[in-house]
Amino acid sequence: MSRPLSLSDAQHLLRRVAARGTREEAEELSAMGLEEAVDRLLRDPAPAPPYATRFARNQRAQQHREISLLWIEHWLTTPTPAAERLVLFWHGHFTSAFQATMGAQGVDFWNQFAMFRRLGYGTFGDFLKAVARDPVMLLYLNNAESRKEHPNQNWARELLELYTLGPGHYSEADILEAARAFTGWTVRLKGGLNPREADANVPWEFTFRPAWHDPGPKTFLGQRVEGGEEVLEVLIAHPQTYRFLSRKLLRFYLSPEPPEAMVEEGARVLRSEGTRGFLRWLFTHEAFYHPSFRNSLIKGPLEYLVGLLYAAGIRELPADSSLGKGVYQALAAMSQIPFDPPTVAGWEGGPTWLAETPYLARLNLITAVANQGKSLDLFVFMEGGKALADLVKPEAQLL
Amino acid sequence: MDRREFLQKSLLALALGQGAPSLLVRTALAAKTRGRILVVVNLFGGNDQLNTLVPYRNELYHRLRPNLALKGKEVLDLGVRGKWLGLHPALRPLMAMWEKGELALIPQVGYPNPNRSHFISTAIWHTADPDRRAQTGWLGRWADGQEDPFCETFLGGAAPLALRGERRTAPAIASIDAFTLRLTPALQRAFEEEARHPRQGTAEEIRRAMLSLRGALDRVGRLRTVKNRAQYPEGAFGRSLADIARMIAGGLESSVYYTTLGGWDTHANQPPRHEELLGQLAQGLAALREDLRAIGRDGDVLILIFSEFGRQVAENASLGTDHGEGGLMLALGPGVNGGLYGDEPDLEDLSLNALKYRTDFRHVYATALQWIGADPKAVLGAEFTPMGLLRNAGS
């Protein structure tokens, strides 16, 4: 039997979890009750449409715009929007930036997001193993070029610092040893094609080159290892990995300063029940609905934009329409272009979203949305939202 | 702005019914525009000192970097004053400054117990606290003691930690020309009205952001008519420097302008990328100096350039370099006592393949704080002797 879920709690749940919704959708969730509503939101993600481009391999800026708008369009139309907000979380965690990933195409990033969607709710171990073999990641953090003679440390360092343990739980020597373990983990074009003869829709795939690999023994976090698989196993077994992720997920879904007890409990749930189990635990937790945690997060630009477009009834963003172009420019001005986090640590978020320049861009979007001439349903978008003028209130920025 | 320009603006203000500034305000304005300015350029990603300030006569440099080393005939020789080191050829626009003694090169700058994470090292540079206890930035702490919210300005999307204080964070202006509020008069009135009502918690934080934005719209809006008098390189970095010059010319009156240029994390295929970045940097700085000269403010401005660390000495297999420790800082301007503030790097005395740090960055910060008339000890929390980088220190 589901516990009751008030309309106001349903509104909060829908905004937080999916970043989009209507009054009708909130009413449906409320009628289901808490557990059922949460399970409904956390259903298996609907796949995104396939992506293929007519642009060439070197026309990357055009591809970047296409996949950015296609993703937002998918977030606006999918029956499982909660999965897309989670994809955004993983994108900010397992970062890769289009601009900085030479050679990678739109299709490679599109495939990476499909992997985030497929594995994002599952156990962290399976997910991490897939990320370590993800062509975009191997190219972005230069492991694709790492050879035994001179291992490239970029991937190994960020794997430890940003993706699993966090600073303070490893040494410089651990980074060197991990870098050696991952030598030979590289990419090739599907079918062994040469980039010069392949069109932009031929993706990269993982391949292991034994000749580039350093097979000698290594000591990683006090354990003897040889290859990258074993490094990953050590990290997957490490309790700090789950503490680090639990805190980060709670900062994304609960509060900028989550209570320590919840970080600890969340780490245990994450480890034993995977990310979906963690989210189910959190969204059915009393604390999640406590007044001190409601409206305590600041919407990121993508969340703001998706929520606003959805409230305005906009579901399509053709890449060459003026709306599509305007949306892409607005994201740049608000400091969040998809597939392009500013640094390998992702988006800082919080109050930085409302520095003068990005805040101004949000306000200027109101006029663009008003000019679409559709009716606005701001019930889920913001607490107390009724009419266009409410969008200038501080409450419009809260998640 | 000069006296004639000032009078013209006052008359314009009068014509628009905004009232002429009182004599008192004008005097204060005039005194402040004579003030000194610090421009900080943060190169994010870790610039490679060895291929910026090149020990090209050192045989070991060529041996450790068989593919990345710059050849002797390519580099710009710095002569005896520069201990026969050379600059990367893309830095040619800075050579005139070197010749005139207006460019200081400070190699192997860092801090105790170096951290090779971009983010931790950047945070240490920004807070000026290698122990990582400080929550505020070095310039933010200085700004906490100032009246004007525009005492420091960030050119970009959101001000970095360096510019965050207890009381406030520097205004972030990515572009003067794009900084316009496009709301209908009715919505604009609603915005004003909402900004007047205090709230609780996060909503109140956002209301404060509304107030900052409104203040910034007033101040920056007036700068739109100011023109540049030099040609800047294409790209966001060049545009930011161009806007800094407009802000100075238009009387925004910040003592500190801060901007960034990213992309220095050259783990792979370093040569073309590094050349492009150094070119953007040098061309931008040369244009800024030219622009400042044209408005008679060059002598008031000290420009400081840093990166969170240098890179490792031996190249990796991807034609790149991994994260190192000590890195190069640059200071330039007519107030600078140009020259090399260090020695040729010792490539045999390394720390895990990286140059060790020799100069603590806080000595350089102390000098910069001295330039804008701030108390280095109050900001840095301890005594750091300013380096002798300035021609007339303390005046």
What was the ipTM of the complex prediction? Answer: 0.92
Name chain B contacts of A356, Cβ cutoff 8 Å.
171-173, 179, 212-213, 216
| Contact (CB<8Å) B179/A360 | yes
Confidence class of residue B102 from pLDDT cuts 50, 70 and 90?
Answer: very high
For residue A342, what is the nearest residue in chain B, using CA coordinates?
B262
**Average pLDDT, integer, range B299-327:** 96
Average pLDDT over residues B245-270: 96
Interface touch B323/A157, C-beta < 8 Å: yes
Task: Give A375: exposed, middle or buried? Use CB within 10 Å, 0-12, 13-18, 19+.
Answer: exposed
Considering only alpha carbons, which residue of chain A is nearest residue B114? A172
Tokens of B317: 């297999």
A216-255 as b/e: b if 16+ CB within 10 A:
eebebbeeebbbbebbbebbbebeebbbbbbbbbbbbbbb
Tell me which chain A residues have a C-beta less than 8 angstroms from the C-beta of B209.
351, 354-355, 359
In chain B, which residue's Cα lies nearest the Cα of A362?
B181
Contacts 24+ apart (CB under 8 A), B12-21: none
Amino acid A150: pLDDT: 87
Contact A360 B204 (CB under 8 A): no
- Averaged pLDDT of chain B: 91
Give the pLDDT band (50/70/90) at residue B34: low
Inter-CA distances, A355 with A19, A351, B325, Å: 21, 7, 32
- List the domains of chain B with CATH numbers: 30-175+234-380 (3.40.720.10)
Q: Could you write out the three-class secondary structure of chain A?
A: CCCCCCHHHHHHHHHHHHCCCCHHHHHHHHHHCHHHHHHHHCCCCCCCCCCCCCCCCCCHHHHHHHHHHHHHHHHHHCCCHHHHHHHHHHHHHCCCCCCCCCCCCHHHHHHHHHHHHHHCCCCHHHHHHHHHCCHHHHHHCCHHHCECCECCCHHHHHHHHHHHCCCCCCCHHHHHHHHHHCCCEEEEEHHHCCCCCCCCCCCEEEEECHHHCCCCCEEECCEEECCHHHHHHHHHHCHHHHHHHHHHHHHHHCCCCCCHHHHHHHHHHHHHHHHHHHHHHHHCCHHHHCHHHCCCCECCHHHHHHHHHHHCCCCCCCCCCHHHHHHHHHHHHCCCCCCCCCCCCCCCCHHHHHCHHHHHHHHHHHHHHHCCCCCCCCCCCCCCCCCHHHHHCHHHHEC
CA-based nearest residue in chain B for residue A392: B191
CB contact (8 A) between residue B194 and residue A355: no
Lowest mean pLDDT among B2-6, B116-120, B272-276: B2-6
Q: How far is CA B72 from CA B64, B69, B84, in A?
A: 15, 9, 11
pLDDT on residue A338: 97
Run means of pLDDT, 10 residues per run, chain A, 399 residues: 94 98 98 98 98 95 96 98 98 94 95 98 98 97 93 95 96 97 97 91 98 98 98 98 98 98 98 98 98 97 97 92 91 95 92 96 90 87 95 97
Report residue A372 as tokens: 């679409």
Question: Residue B170: pLDDT above 60?
Answer: yes
Kindly tell me if the per-residue pLDDT of B31 is higher than 50.
no
Q: What are the tens digits of pLDDT across the range B197-242?
A: 999 999 999 999 999 999 999 999 999 999 999 999 999 999 999 9
Give yes or no for a contact between A138 and A187, defined as CB atoms under 8 angstroms apart: yes
- Joined together, the tokens standing for residue A300 give 């990121």
**B325: closest CA of chain A, how far (Å):** 12
Whole-model pTM: value is 0.89
Q: Provide the pLDDT for residue B393.
A: 55
Region of residue A23 (left: phi > 0; alpha: psi -120 to 50; beta: else): alpha
**Best A357, A365, A390 residue to mutate vs chain B (most B CBs within 10 Å):** A357
CB pairs under 8 A between A and B: 150
Please tell me whether residue B348 adopts helix, strand or coil conformation.
coil
Q: Average pLDDT of B375-390?
A: 95
